[in-house]
Amino acid sequence: MKPIRIAVLGAGVVAGGVVHVLQRNQAEIQRRAGRVLQVVAVAARNPAKAKAALAGLDVPVVQDFEALARRDDVDIVCELIGGTDLARSLVLAAIAAGKHVVTANKALLAVHGSEIFAAAREKGVVVAFEGAVAGGIPIIKALREGLSANRIEWVAGIINGTTNFILSEMRSKGLDFDTVLKEAQRLGYAEADPTFDIEGVDAAHKATIMSAIAFGIPVQFDKAHVEGITKLQAADIRYAEQLGYRIKLLGITKRREKGIELRVHPTLIPATRLIANVEGAMNAVVVHGDAVGTTLYYGKGAGAEPTASAVIADLVDITRLHTADPDHRVPSLAFQPGAMQDTPILPMAEVVTSFYLRLVVADKAGVLARITGILAEHGISIDAVLQRESDEGEAQTDLIILTHDTLEGEMDKALAQMQALPTVLAPIVRIRKEELK
């Protein structure tokens, strides 16, 4: 049987990992796929640099990306260039030419996924993207196939290694955000421009994709609530620890009666949960289904070979299904196209969660009673209260409050009232809390 011929667009770290692993494990991969997977060419902006990076591998390097994507001797186009504009153009060109597509580009799918999946359905080709979320962890396959018997209730994940490394260092060493960010950049865990990571955008791209697969809804990145970790303070990480919690940047999507929650933000998690103990640059995703209960998926979320592992798994899947009837393949977003639902993404005011609050207040009688009274007026019940001497001065104190579940809109109103009190001496810190039971 003739080989499956693959065009690799891009010659970066992941692309190099794909070519290396395909050649190193060729015999094992062929045993699984039933056919040889052969890279016919790699497209690179700088061919000379790409040839040096792929030294020792018998792979032609070309400069014309679109020509390679349309070539007659290509069965699968593997898009690994990143970004959205050029990648979208190349993926749509490949689909128009009747090629299957594998991509690890979460931004592309979160922003243009609906258009790309519709084009692929029309041409009868597959768009596979296991490498786009959580690197080498097979979370897309788990959501799309392994858990297909379940009504999925919620998904929560540590899906950005850079921010998890920073938070782990802040917790273990008691350092502030800026100090740890510089160290992360020095060690190569953070980019020179880390904005997409530390502001939560990268995690939101991935959460958007998981939400679409979990609930059978269109990809809707523009409706996700996104907060990063830049405003987190070492004091709050320390207080959370004293209360039995750890702070992680989570991507969360939940099924609610009126719609779907889709949010990324720092979150307190009980220290007893397995996901709370995921440290360094590792990733983990927790999924709760009605039949299976809670399952955890853990592993490396980035890197050349972990991501290559996911990309090659997609290549093997497509190879197995290459001659299958398009109507009998696993749908890109798990649900049959005609069964997708336009369930609304809920605004944050309608999200239900619990909260950690830290208030710097004047150290005088009646302050706590007034604060708890405002919370009670808004139907917000208190789970725990901690009072500690403030680092800011002797005449004030840090008041830490954990609440039970409440509507975010009610908490917004209560915070506005509390912030206006003359005895509240600094901006109130509010961090959401999830029990993940």
From the list 99, 141, 206, 254, the catalytic residue is 206
Average pLDDT for residues 316-344, to the nearest whole number? 87
Give the domains, in start order, of the chain with CATH numbers: 4-128 (3.40.50.720), 145-300 (3.30.360.10), 352-433 (3.30.70.260)
> Under 8 Å CB-to-CB from 332, ≥6 apart: which residues?
117, 120, 126, 127, 128, 129
The pLDDT tens digits of the residues spanning 61-80 come to 999 999 999 999 999 999 99
Statement: residue 391 has pLDDT above 90 = no
Phi–psi pair at 281, nearest 5 degrees? -90, 15
Statement: residue 394 has pLDDT above 80 = no
The pLDDT tens digits of the residues spanning 272-296 come to 999 999 999 999 999 999 999 999 9
Three-class DSSP category at 22: helix
Statement: residue 389 has pLDDT above 90 = no
Amino acid 328: pLDDT = 79
CA 32 to chain centre: 29
| Neighbouring C-beta atoms of residue 262, cutoff 10 Å | 27
Q: Does the annotation mark 206 as catalytic?
A: yes
Run of H or E residues at 69:
helix 65-70
Give the burial string for 321-331 (b: 16+ CB within 10 Å, else e): beeeeeeeeeb
Average pLDDT for residues 375-391, to the nearest whole number? 92
CA distance 109 to 91: 11
CA distance 393 to 361: 11
Helices 26-33 and 304-321, axial angle in degrees (round to 10) = 30
CA distance 335 to 144: 8
Amino acid 66: pLDDT = 96
